[in-house]
Structure 1
């Protein structure tokens, strides 16, 4: 082999062995990483977010890496999960609910944050205002605005016209929950309904609250929004069924699991739409200049099987307004 041929061979061999390394390095630079933090268990929310990313061309394991972490309804786990995700050096951190976003902020994360499903991000101190959130954060609210919580009691009263005594279960795991209590209390006074309020931020408190509700003689109950309530929805639905108590919830996941009815924003759709903000940030947008968006859909869901099981007849007028009826 002459010198020219030998040199050509060595260059070609070097490129052959270096090629995969160069390709891997290049992939490492162009394939972004997203951290996803959920205060609840795996389910419709994370699936909706991943589906939203895929619809925008971000395929996990191909064009993007998505790391998922779940607090399983235990807020105390959130700071540790945030640390795990930040250690992976994500380009964007998606945080479910207000408490998830707060955990990311308190970790002093410099990475862009997109929250999905905050009841009131301004009141919670997540953003300055909805149009210009500022800093390194933006996201999607659930738009539980003034007067929204009162609709749960109005719908329950429409379902059971003779209703005179109601329990409300709320959790401080949702920082906006005190406002729900105030609004339901105002509507209860207007409708001349006796309201009993029970706080439950963990399983011990929830067991005690349900025991009190069971012996109180109430004719129905309301479950206010919180990640903890979502994680305990099967217990809450089973309690309603066992005691033949009409109940209204804030998320369709409850009637899907056998609850009577729910009214609230389409939460999985909020997570799906959060993917659009992530897409914009990955393409160079400033999160602090992306407006916080509101839900597009508010759904009334009624489960007729649950109604039959507890001996309740759903009024036709309510069924006609329902977005979905489970029968």
Structure 2
């Protein structure tokens, strides 16, 4: 009987030791502002990059949470990450990053898809982070999109710009776009929304008054992008977007951010920090590579030749 108990105890100890060896070495909390194609693309690319580099579930435990576009919920999620003492918090999109930065001054925060981290109050000097926050910015250059628009649909004189002024990221991009349009002698009209339900009425209000629509990296508008695109197609109005996923949801074209590449870049930064890199030695990175993406179905529907870029 004694031998049997000793044998059983040894088996249990071996199983416990095996379980300990199999436990993930790191924990990462991911909080995404809201689920829509652009931000989903970033998150999935981060996970793909971690897996490809050997940081799969057996090495890194991922706790993914959807912030549902609610600052209060994002705050609660981040506080739970802090209580769990995760190794890294990864917020996706500006409001999520602001919530994560407010929740902790010690746990590394590596953001993804933040257009202007300085304006968002996340860092003072992107080249020399002085706190616990760094990441990969999706700084948008609207001039690239306007150049492409002039090539595909020359002679546009008036744009409608659709965005939510409560989003620092899209407000920053919209201001850049409007400044670039003014420099080129192009007029613009703002259509401000605060919820996804307001997007279609806002776009309808622009029809007959603008030659084209410009959509910045706006999370509110992205939620209703297929409906926005449908309205624009019905009126034969081209929609140019700041990011590729908005084109896949019905926009005509972009020369802008590829969120898969951005997510991979963020994944590489996460790995470096998990392995001991200090935030102070990890400057904010900007995705300099831009991609021309066109929607062939939208182009055909409104009569625009995109064959040069169609794959």
* Residues 208 and 306 of structure 1, relative CA distance in 2, 3 Å threshold: closer
Aligned mates of 2:48, 2:174 — CA distance in 1: 35
Aligned mates of 1:31, 1:187 — CA distance in 2: 48
- 2:303 is the counterpart of 1:306: no
The answer for the alignment partner of 1:175 in structure 2 is 168
Instruction: Measure how far apart 1:104 and its partner are.
Output: 0.5
Contact 1:174 1:225 (C-alpha < 8 Å) held by counterparts:
no
Pick aligned residue for 2:232 from 233, 240, 259: 240
The answer for the alignment partner of 2:74 in structure 1 is 78
The answer for the alignment partner of 2:35 in structure 1 is 41
* Residues 92 and 120 of structure 1, relative CA distance in 2, 3 Å threshold: same
Q: Deviations over 1:223-266 (max 9, x none)?
A: 01122233222222222222221110011112223321012121
* Residues 176 and 252 of structure 1, relative CA distance in 2, 3 Å threshold: closer
Pick aligned residue for 2:144 from 151, 159, 167: 151
The answer for the alignment partner of 2:117 in structure 1 is 121
Instruction: Measure how far apart 1:218 and its partner are.
Output: 1.2
* Residues 207 and 75 of structure 1, relative CA distance in 2, 3 Å threshold: farther
Give the length in aligned residue pairs.
Answer: 308
- 2:10 is the counterpart of 1:15: yes
* Residues 262 and 173 of structure 1, relative CA distance in 2, 3 Å threshold: farther
Aligned mates of 1:308, 1:57 — CA distance in 2: 43
Pick aligned residue for 1:134 from 121, 130, 134: 130
Instruction: Measure how far apart 1:167 and its partner are.
Output: 0.6
Aligned mates of 2:107, 2:294 — CA distance in 1: 41
Instruction: Measure how far apart 1:27 and its partner are.
Output: 4.3
Structure 2 unaligned blocks of 5 or more? none
Pick aligned residue for 1:97 from 87, 93, 97: 93
The answer to which of 180-189 and 243-252 deviates more is: 180-189
**TM-score normalised per structure 2:** 0.88
Q: Deviations over 1:189-220 (max 9, x none)?
A: 34333211122231244244223112x42111
The answer for the alignment partner of 1:53 in structure 2 is 50
Aligned mates of 2:109, 2:198 — CA distance in 1: 32
Alignment of 1:205-244 (within 5 A): 205-214=198-207, 216-244=208-236
The answer for the alignment partner of 1:283 in structure 2 is 275
Instruction: Measure how far apart 1:107 and its partner are.
Output: 2.0
Instruction: Measure how far apart 1:79 and its partner are.
Output: 2.3
Contact 1:139 1:293 (C-alpha < 8 Å) held by counterparts:
yes
Aligned mates of 1:199, 1:55 — CA distance in 2: 41
CA RMSD of the aligned region, Å?
Answer: 2.5
Contact 1:250 1:262 (C-alpha < 8 Å) held by counterparts:
yes
Q: Deviations over 1:14-37 (max 9, x none)?
A: 322222233334544x53211111
- 2:157 is the counterpart of 1:161: no
